[in-house]
Structure 1
Amino acid sequence: MKQTVLYLLFITLSFSSCIDQSKSNTSRSSSSEVAPKLVVGIVVDQMRYDYLTRFQSHYSEGGFKRMMREGFNCKNNHFNYVPTYTGPGHASVYTGTTPKYHGIISNNWYDKELKKTVYCASDYKVRSVGTESMAGKMSPNKMLTTSFADENRLFTQMRGKTIGVAIKDRGAILPAGHTANAAYWFHGADEGLWITSDFYREELPEWVNEFNASGAVKAYLKVWDTYDPIDTYKQSGDDLNNFETGFNGQETATFPYDLNKLKDANGGYDIIKTSPFGNALTTDFAIAAIKGEQLGQDSDTDILALSYSSTDYIGHNFGVNSKEVQDTYIRLDKDLERLFNYLDEFVGEGEYTVFLTADHGAVDVPAYLQSVNIPAGYLDYNDRKRRFQEFLFNTYGTNELVENVSNNQIFLNKKVLKELNLDIHEVEQALVDEQISYPNISKVYTATTMNSTNFTHGIEALLQNGFNQKRSGDVIIVDDIAHIAYSKTGSTHGSGLNYDTHVPLLFFGKGISHGQTLEKTTIPDIAPTMSALLGISFPNGATGKPLEIVLD
């Protein structure tokens, strides 16, 4: 009997312990499921994945390395569409889908209804705020879907704030989405101001006016020399070479650069954009926005959509292998450390979540690749145009059959097709057969093919993901690998090849696991992952999947 009583007591105590343990686990689980106070999405314009690894020995412990050490590193992250440009890239990161659905098919594209080229963020119905120039007449009006920032605003009944910040207007506007409290971008020229449009607000808030009046912008018109001794920059090419453009007014593209002396010949305050000080200025303004808007200070999650644009300007000017690019990333790493330290202090360490990616990569300067015997080259669009016009006239008796050629797409004139009683599918195929015969064109496809065939891999799938039936052309052209229509100095981007598609994807902060993966991830996976973290609806056009391995 005594043994039975002791046994029952043991069972009771064990059961009670399990209940207490269960309550403890439930309590911890509930605590860990509380959303971060602030999400900071960082897009580094033109950042190739290998910049993380090439320059790693120069990075501090508090920037890129902190994200890799404390967070999760997706090492095989790619864009899954063409073209890889800034506008589509920023839109895809935040909407969780591709141009096929969100509609931002390029930075600029030919509008088939308006019969003219349009810019991805232009909106002539709105008014500039903070400047009298046209630079503020911008909004996300051409983006067809919501961003995860929009969904957070809807979920929180508009209490959670969204602020977009970037040197480039499109880098601030498209990520912030349609419901943002504000997006701010930098207008250089002779003003050097952060501005917005009345799509967001009627006037600049006091903290922006104070920043613009502070002299912070003018202070960056100074000498740009290397952060570390230049002879330690072993991860980039010679400072003096034939593959860089440089600045007007300086004979060689070599350090140092006196921005104040060079500014008048290089667009005034715009010269700051093509220096790492543009990133420093962006960080200054982002910190001012966090404080001025009191981001991350209550229970409703806020979102800061932050884009670093100067990396792109510098890459275009100096090229992937330049000392200037290396120095820019070393300095950006310091800016990230400064930003993270401020977030630790103002929002609270462990109370915010950050992701970092890019809007596209970039190709090595083809002239440099040629110098080391790698196949590469430059496209002669003038010769293509001449041959194509001769073909059109000889075949159809007119050049008016084609309305526009841009973004490697041919737009047919439907009115002329009808007048000549031509079958559009036959004409499309005839143009394919003609174009594929030209030098340095590797593939050509029709809109009919894009609309009727389901591609699952290869360049064809990327083209299809970038093809919007209402906005894209009737014939799509793919150029040879590492062949670009560009100057023989500086780098560019836009293709579906690895140098343009392979970009970083780092997560760290609240709700993020520690680790890394070589499993392939894609840019549209980011927005669903952040939506899952916040427990909100996915963006309404999202096609990506949440990265469960990333979430703690």
Structure 2
Amino acid sequence: MRSYLVITFVLSLFFFSPNSYGQNRGKSDTGEDVLRTKPKLVVGIVVDQMRYDYLTRFYDHYGKDGFKRLVEQGFNCKNNHFNYAPTSTGPGHTSVYTGTTPSNHGIIGNNWYDKEADTDVYCASDDEYTSIGTISDAGKMSPHRMTVTTVTDELRLHNQMRSKTIAIALKDRGAVLPGGHTANAAYWFHGADEGKWITSSFYMDALPKWVQDFNTSGKAQSYKKAWTTLKDIKDYTESGTDNNSYEGLFNGENAPTFPHSTTSLLDKNKDFEIIKATPFGNSLTTDFAIEALQKEALGQDDFTDFLAISYSSTDYVGHKYGVNSKEIQDTYLRLDQDLARLFKALDKTVGEGEYTLFLSADHAAIEVPAYLRDQKIPAGYVDNDANSKKLSEFLKYTYGTEDIVKNYSNYQFFLDHKIIKNLDLTLAEVQEEIALEVLNYDAVDKVYTADQMWNNEYTTGIPYILQNGYNQKRSGDILVVLKPGFISYSETGSTHGSPQIYDTHTPLLFYGKGIKPGATFERTEIPDIAPTISALLGIAFPNGSTGKPIIQVLD
């Protein structure tokens, strides 16, 4: 009898255990949980010029349905960084979606000197295509300078192009680059005196009717209004004084103070470009994204779709007013409300728990150096005229000509290799001589040569960040790093672009289907985003990917 009971017990474990053969076989058949997560929609959000501390500084002012929803119900990577420089918009968006750095994807700046064509180029421009939705040249864009695939490309390839990708941003590069080479559509806002969402013939021959209807709805005109604070300005204790010398002005203003109500803001028929420099640009982006979500039926079939959204007004406001301004605080409180609206639309249209979302930034930003200097913190500005004069004198004395330097951009010197050869000099020798000279200049902290980038493999510190941004075919001969706290910019407003930590530390939040709630202080890097989403979806990584999945994020 006892033997019979033992046998019965063992058999019951085999047939009824949650880990039994039959149970596992069922999971393998569906592929869910075992191989992949299959959300109806992936939403990628990039907030232009967002520092990580904007989450923490303004947290008590946020509502429960925007940033707090992502932080408290999603996964927060608290030590997330860009691992390359220059930290700017074009490279930032590209790195988020390709899972690699400029050394591989080729977008080494917003603009750069093309060594082969001997001219300056823009990261998204393409004269092979025409504007759609405007008679201006603002739509002559494509992703052709991006040399690798994106996670959005790989999703479409995986599903035989049956997945749909829509990319949206105020800035053309904020839509074109995330959309990848295979996007169904990328839309950006053309301000000027038109105030329209436009695209390129790279994607389509004519705007869809829903876009045309949106453009004629008067929505853009509705945001030509005075900018007042969302809350009582006295409650904005997390930012500096409203009236100070560290902030820029709208045309027609005498002081950088609330309310902002210039003629350009109030005129309903002209100068729509000004909307971008107010938080209403983010609201307009949200309106358009929700319209795209519904009209394009995203997340409504068996194939995962992708909606890529970039919020660009944060960058315009940061550049004008600086990271410690009342304007920045108000912009983020208003963005929090826009995010809440977007999430509510996703819940209703796609279904709560049926979409996966990430939020990050394309770069962060520095405190206004003039403000830091007044707080007795080492900071300042480059004297470009003085440095240029010194360099010109050095080049003439050493080489007999200053033409040996063809271009200086993105903190890189491009040399004329033909002149160097005609002078019977070696390239490495000239690079080092000029680097040693520039190292002595005002505000310069470090200088590296292309020869060093070619012949060494750096794994930590500033040279590691520079090397990840160095593209052998496109980058310059000498790379310059300014002292911490120093910039080449106006004395009002903030900027970015350096390898310093204030430009690299950005938020990274994951939320939704397949995401495990939690947080980590372990270092994560921007190129980890695309591999993480690819691993979750069970699709191929972008073909230039160098990042790795963040395993703590995945449920």
- TM-score, with structure 2 as normaliser: 0.97
Correspondences of 1:109-258 after superposition (within 5 Å): 109-258=112-261
Cα distance in structure 2, aligned partners of 1:279 and 1:407: 28
Give the SS at the match of 2:8.
Answer: helix
2:416 corresponds to: 413
- How far is the alpha carbon of 1:416 from its aligned partner? 1.6
Q: Displacement of 1:64 after TM fit?
A: 0.5
Counterpart residue type for residue 302 of structure 1: D
* Contact persistence 2:356–2:514 (CA under 8 A): yes
Q: For 1:48-447, list aligned pairs within 5 A.
A: 48-258=51-261, 261-262=264-265, 268-447=271-450
In structure 2, what is the Cα distance between the partners aligned to 1:20 and 1:117?
61
CA contact (8 A) 1:79 1:522 kept: yes
How far off its partner does 1:273 sit? Answer: 0.1
**Shift in alpha-carbon separation, 1:218–1:481, aligned structure 2, 3 A:** same
Contact kept in structure 2, 1:247 and 1:266, CA below 8 Å? no
Aligned to 1:493: 496
Secondary structure of 1:385's partner?
A: helix
Between the aligned partners of 1:144 and 1:258, the Cα distance in structure 2 is 44
Note if contact 1:248-1:262 (Cα within 8 Å) is conserved in structure 2. Answer: no
Aligned to 2:44: 41
Alignment CA distance shift 1:163-1:259 (3 Å): farther
CA deviation after TM superposition for structure 1 residue 237, in Å = 0.3
Q: Give, in whole Å, the separation in 2 of the partners of 1:244 and 1:19.
A: 62
Does the aligned pair in 2 maintain the 1:493–1:500 contact within 8 Å? Answer: yes
TM-score (norm 1): 0.97
Taking every aligned residue pair, what percent have the same amino acid on both sides? Answer: 59
Distance in structure 2 (CA, Å) of the matches to 1:264 and 1:343: 33
Secondary structure at the counterpart of residue 522 of structure 2: coil
Contact 2:37 2:513 in 1 (8 A): no
Q: Matched residues in 2 for 1:19 and 1:86: separation?
A: 49
**Cα offsets for 1:239-284 (capped at 9, x unmatched):** 1111100201011110111255546799700110000000000000
Q: Tell whether the 8 Å contact from 1:223 to 1:256 is kept in structure 2 after alignment.
A: yes
Q: Is 1:469–2:472 an aligned residue pair?
A: yes
Counterpart residue type for residue 59 of structure 1: Y
Higher mean displacement: 484-493 or 14-23? 14-23
CA–CA distance in structure 2, aligned partners of residues 216 and 64 of structure 1: 25
Unpaired segments ≥5 residues, structure 1 = none
Q: Distance in 1 between matches of 2:411 and 2:5?
A: 83
Map Cα deviations across residues 189-209 of structure 1 (whole Å, 9 max, x no partner).
100000000001111011101
Q: Tell me how far 1:421 sits from its aligned partner.
A: 2.1
Q: Give the whole-Å Cα distance in 1 for the aligned partners of 2:96 and 2:280.
A: 25
How far the C-alpha of 1:15 sits from its partner, in A, is 2.9
CA RMSD of aligned residues (A): 1.6
Q: How far apart, CA to CA, are the structure 2 residues paired with 1:271 and 1:25?
A: 58
* Conserved? CA contact 2:95–2:527, under 8 Å: yes
Contact 2:221 2:269 in 1 (8 A): no
CA contact (8 A) 1:62 1:337 kept: yes
Return the alpha-carbon distance in structure 2 between the equivalents of residues 454 and 267 of structure 1.
52
Distance 1:261 1:417, change over 3 A: closer
AA aligned opposite 1:428: Q
- Once residues 504 and 19 of structure 1 are traced to their aligned partners in structure 2, the CA distance between those partners, rounded to angstroms, is 38
2:16 matched to 1:13?
A: no
